[in-house]
Amino acid sequence: MFNNKELFKTAFKEQLVSRLGKNMDEATPADIYKILGTLIREVIGREWAETNQAYKTQGEKQVYYFSMEFLIGRLLGNNLLNLGMLTTVRDGLRDLGWNLEEIEEQEPDAGLGNGGLGRLAACFMDSLASLGYAGHGCGIRYKYGLFEQKIIDGHQVELPDDWLQKGNVWEERRADKRIEVRFWGRVEISEEDGRTVFHTVDYERVWAVPYDVPIIGYGDLHVNTLRLWSAESAMDPAKMRMEGQRSYHQFLDYNRSVESISEFLYPDDSGYEGKLLRLKQQYFLCSAGLQSVLRTFEKLGLSYHELPHKVAVHINDTHPTLVIPELMRILIDEKGFGWDEAWDVTTRTVSYTNHTLLSEALEKWPVPMVRELLPRVYMIIEEINKRFCGMLLERFPQRQDLVSRMAMIEGDQVKMAHLAIIGSYSVNGVAQLHTELLKNDVMKPFYELYPERFNNKTNGITHRRWLMHANPKLSQLISDSIGTDWIRHPHQLLRLESFKDDPSFQERIMEIKRGNKLRLAAYIQQKQGIAVDPASIFDVQVKRLHGYKRQLMNILHVMHLYNEIKDQPSADRVPRTFIFGAKAAPGYYLAKSIIKLINVVADVVNHDPQINGKLKVLFLENYSVSLAEKIIPAANVSEQISTAGKEASGTGNMKFMMNGALTIGTLDGANVEMHEMLGDDNMFLFGLRSEEVTNYYKFGGYLAREVYNADARIKRVMDQLVSPGPFCCHEQEFGMIYQSILDHNDEFFVLRDFADYAKTQVAVEQAFLNSQSWASKSIANIAHAGYFSSDCTINRYAADIWQIRPVRPLLEV
C-alpha cells in the first residue's frame, strides 16, 4: 500500500518505464491515468481474492443485485478515496508535475445507465462493500453506454458513447467462467421414470462472458464484485467453413445478432420499449447471472432447499423479473424439483424493488414474442399464472374482477410487475410516499393479498462520492468541526446542527460554496465562453428531461423573470443564474423541444444588454455522473419540482441537500421526508399535493385554459412560445409545447402550479439576501443529509429484506 509518498513515486516511475517504456517527461495524461489504474488493480488484487475466499470458507449468505443499469461514473478518484490513498497519490503526482484532477478527467465516464435507477445501483455497490456486506452486482457490459449529448443550434444531438475504446483498466475478463444462454427453439415433452420432463431443442446458443469490476469498500479493503456480462458467438467458425457458402452467411448473421445483445443501453428513461432486442438483453442478464450464482452456490455442497439461506437475488425494477421463471426452470428441469418445492425456493430467494408508478413505464411484453424467444420460460410463466388465478378464484369465488386485474397474462400481454410481486417475498417502494401510493393505489389488490410483502426502503446516495469526493473542502470542514466519525456513521452529521448559528462556521460554509461556484463558473467560461456572476444565486435543475419533472415550468418562469426585467429595467433585483442539464430520450420529441426552448431562452437572456447581469441561463450539455459532481457542490438552490405523486423518490434531491443547497420543491418522493426533517424553515415547498393531483385525474376539474386566461403572466409566456417576439420562432418551433399545455390540458399541472412556484421563488430570493440565515439553513440541510446516505438504506435492506450481516473483519477468517 502506498501510504508513503516516496514509495508511491518510486513504484509509479518504475511502472511507467516497464509498462510503457516511457520516462516522466514523455508521458501523456492518458499514460498517467492508465498506470495509476493498473497500480491500483495490482494493489487490490490480493484483497479481492481474499474477500472471495472468505465468503467461500465462511459460507456467508450472498446478495446478488440484478440490474439492467449501473451508472457508475469514473472510478479512479473514488477508488483512491476508499483505499485511503487519495492524499498520498495527489501529493506524489504533484511532485512529479501532474495534477490528479486532470488525470481523473482522462477516465471515460461509465454511463451504463439512464439516470436515477442506474445511479442507485452504483451507490448501493459502494455501500455494500464499504459496510462489509457480501453483496455483488450483476449487469450487462454494454459496448456503448448512454449516448453522449451535444447541443448543436440549441438542439440535442446524440452521439455514440464509445467508452471502451481505449480499454478499461478496472475490468477483468473471465473467459473461463463463461455461461451458455439459450434462445428460441421448441420444447419437447416426454415421460422419464414416471415424471414429465421438458427438453428444449433447436435452440440458439450464445456465450455470456463475465467481466468483473472490483468494488472497493471504504477503509478496510473489502472488495466485492460487479459482474458485467458480454455476449459472444458460440458458433465454431471452423465447422462453418466446412459447410460452405450458405451457412457462412448464416454465420455472419448469427454473429451480428449475438453481438447486438450487449451492444447498447436502451436510452429510454422510463417509457416501455417494445423491442425484441430489449427482451433478449433482459433474459441474457437473468439467465447468465442466475446460472453463475448457482454455480457458486453449488460449491457449498448443499441441497437446493438451502438456497434461500445462502443466496438473495434482488431485482432492481422489473427489468430482471425473468430470474423468477428462469430459477423455476433450472430447479425443475435441471435439478429434478417438483413444482411446489421449486416455487417455495424461488419465492423465498427473490425480492423486488418497484421504481415507478407511471403506467407507461410498467413493463409489458407481447405473449407471442416471449413464447417464441423463450419457449420453456413462457410455459412456466403460463403455469405460474394459471395457478395464481386458480388460487384467487378458490379464495374469492365471486371476484372474477380480481383475476382480470391481477393476472400476469392479460389478453396478449405479460405484465412483469405482477410476475415480480407474485414471485418474490419482498416488494419495496423507494420513498414513504411512493410506497403508500403503491399499497393503496397502483398495486392495491396485491397489497391486500400479500400485505406482509410490502415495505418501504427510501433511496440513498453514497456520501463518499457525493460529499467526500465531489466536495473535499466541505468534507474537511465537517471533519475539522465534528471529527471523522460521520464518515463511518453518516447520521453523525447531525452534530453540525450545533454550528448552525455559529458565525465563523457560517462564514466558512459560505467560503467553500463560493469556491465551488468559482470553479463551476470557470468550467462554464471554458465550455461556453459565458461569464456568470459567482455572487448570483446558482439555481440548478439537473436530471433526465421528462414531462413530469417539469423543466418546462422552470423555463417558463425564467421567461417570466425576463419579462419583468424588460418591463422595469432599472428595478433592483437579486442576480440569478439558472443552470440546466438534461438528456432527453431520443424519440421523446416534446422533451427535445423543451431542450431547444431552454437553449433559445438562454441565448436571448444572456445576450440582452438590458438584462445587465441580473439573469443568466445555462444549458450544460451531456449531463452525467462526472458533470453532476462538478455542478452539485456549486448549487445554492436545488429544483425538485415534479408533479406530486410522479417522482418515486429522486436521488438528485439528496445530493444537493448533502452539499448545502436549499430545495425548492413539491411534496413528492423523498422531498416529503426531507421536509419532515427540515421543516418549513429550511426548505421551500409549493404546489399541489399528491392527493389533489389524484383527485384531478379521477374527477376532473382542472382546465389549463382557464388558468391561462386568468393569469396575465402565464398568458404572456405561453403566447411568447408561438408568436413573434424574443423567443419565437422558426416555423412553430414550440407549437408542440404550447399544444401539450393548452390543447391536451397540461397533464403535469405546469400552469396550475405556476403561480405558487413564482411566489415561492420570490421567497427564495428574499431568503438569499440574508446570507447568515441562508448559511444557517444550508448547514441544517447538510446536518440532516446523513439520513439519505445509501449506507443507511443498505443497512435497512440488509436487516429487513436480505437478512444478512456484515462480514467483518475479513482477515481473521
Ligand X SMILES: *Cc1c(COP(=O)(O)O)cnc(C)c1O
Active site residue ranges: 355, 543-544, 549, 651, 655
Give the span between the Cα atoms of 261 and 256, in whole angstroms.
9
Instruction: Rule CB under 6 A: say whether 313 interacts with ligand X.
Output: no
Closest to ligand X by CB, 463 vs 543, is 543
- Distance, CA of 685 to CA of 679 (rounded, Å): 10
Restricting to residues 118-137, which ones interact with ligand X according to CB under 6 A?
A: 119
Residue 131 main-chain phi, psi, to 5 deg: -90, -5
Nearest approach, Cβ of residue 462 and ligand X (Å):
11
Q: Which stretch binds ligand X (CB under 6 A): 24-32, 50-58, 113-121, 724-732?
A: 113-121
**Contact range with ligand X by CB under 6 A, out of 365-373, 560-568, 651-659, 773-781:** 651-659
Q: How far is the CB of 785 from ligand X (least distance, A)?
A: 14
Cβ closest to ligand X, residue 652 vs residue 786: 652
Pairing of strands 426-429, 350-353: parallel
- CB–CB of 305/580 below 8 Å? no
Query: How many residues bind to ligand X according to rule CB under 6 A?
Result: 13
Nearer to ligand X, 115 or 534 (CB): 115
Nearer to ligand X, 287 or 793 (CB): 793
Return the range that interacts with ligand X (CB under 6 A); candidates 96-104, 180-188, 646-654, 797-805.
Answer: 646-654
CB of 663 to ligand X, least distance (A): 11
Q: According to the binding rule CB under 6 A, does residue 145 interact with ligand X? A: no
Give the residue with the Cβ less far from ligand X, 490 or 669: 669
Closest distance to ligand X from the beta carbon of 777 (Å): 20
- Binding piece for ligand X, criterion CB under 6 A, among 169-177, 319-327, 650-658, 768-776: 650-658
Neighbours of 407 (CB within 10 A): 18
Which is nearer to ligand X, 644 or 810 (by Cβ)? 644
Stretch that binds ligand X, among 334-342, 376-384, 587-595, 648-656 (CB under 6 A): 648-656
Binding segment (CB under 6 A) for ligand X, from list 418-426, 621-629, 702-710, 745-753: 621-629
Site residues for ligand X, 259-278, by CB under 6 A, read none
* Binding residue for ligand X, selected from 88, 349, 551, 651, defined by CB under 6 A: 651
What crossing angle do the helices spanning 29-58 and 5-20 adopt, rounded to 10°? 110
Q: Is 312 a residue that touches ligand X (CB under 6 A)?
A: no
CB of 641: closest distance to ligand X in angstroms?
10
Residues of this chain, 624-643, that bind ligand X according to CB under 6 A: 624-625, 628
- E strands of 551-674, at which residues? 576-581, 615-619, 637-640, 662-665
Q: State yes or no: residue 429 binds ligand X (CB under 6 A).
A: no
Q: How many residues does the chain have?
A: 813
803 backbone φψ class: left, alpha, beta (φ>0; ψ -120 to 50): left
Comparing every residue's Cβ against ligand X, the nearest one is 652
Identify the sign of the CA torsion 716, 717, 722, 728.
positive
Q: What gap in Å lies between CA 37 and CA 107, rounded to an integer?
A: 10
- Residue 115 lies near ligand X (rule: CB under 6 A): yes
Largest CA distance in the chain: 93
Closest approach of Cβ 652 to ligand X, in Å?
2
CA 375 to chain centre: 32
Query: Residue 168 Cβ, how far from ligand X at the closest point, in Å?
Result: 19
Contact between 308 and ligand X per CB under 6 A? no
User: Shortest Cβ distance from residue 650 to ligand X (Å)?
Assistant: 4
Nearer to ligand X, 119 or 464 (CB): 119
Indicate the pairing of strand 409-410 with strand 413-415: antiparallel
Q: Which stretch binds ligand X (CB under 6 A): 115-123, 373-381, 701-709, 782-790?
A: 115-123
Within residues 83-102, the interface with ligand X by CB under 6 A covers none
Closer residue to ligand X in complex, CB, 92/145: 145
Tell me which residue of 667, 253, 204 sits closest to 431, measured CA to CA: 667
From first CA to last CA, the distance across the chain in angstroms is: 21
Q: Do 581 and 595 form a contact (C-beta atoms < 8 A)?
A: no
> Any idea what DSSP says for residue 331?
I
- Taking CB under 6 A as the criterion, the residue among 37, 77, 92, 116 binding ligand X is 116
Q: Which three cell numbers stand for residue 613?
A: 447581469
Q: Please report whether residue 581 would count as binding ligand X according to CB under 6 A.
A: no
Q: Which of 77, 92, 460, 652 binds ligand X (CB under 6 A)?
A: 652
Structural contact between residues 530 and 568, judged by C-beta atoms closer than 8 angstroms: no
Angle at 552 between CA 546 and CA 557, to 5 degrees: 155
Interface with ligand X in residues 536-575 (CB under 6 A): 543-544
- Rounded to the nearest whole angstrom, what is the least distance from the CB of residue 642 to ligand X in the complex? 9
Q: How large is the C-alpha radius of gyration of the chain?
A: 27
In this complex, which beta carbon is closest to ligand X, that of residue 628 or of residue 779? 628
Following CA atoms 679, 685, 691, 695 in sequence, which dihedral angle do they give, to the nearest 10 degrees?
A: 160
Nearest to 677 by CA among 691, 692, 657: 657
Amino acid at 404: S
At residue 504's C-alpha, the angle toward residues 499 and 507, to 5°, is 100
Supply the minimum distance, in Å, between the C-beta of residue 561 and ligand X. 23
Instruction: Work out which of 92, 210, 289, 650 binds ligand X, going by CB under 6 A.
Output: 650
Nearer to ligand X, 624 or 663 (CB): 624
- Is 236:218 a contact under the CB 8 Å cutoff? no
The CA distance from 306 to 12, in Å, is 48
Please return the burial class of 420, using the count of CB atoms within 10 Å of its CB with bins 0-12, 13-18 and 19+.
Answer: buried
Residues that bind ligand X (CB under 6 A): 115-116, 119, 543-544, 623-625, 628, 650-652, 655
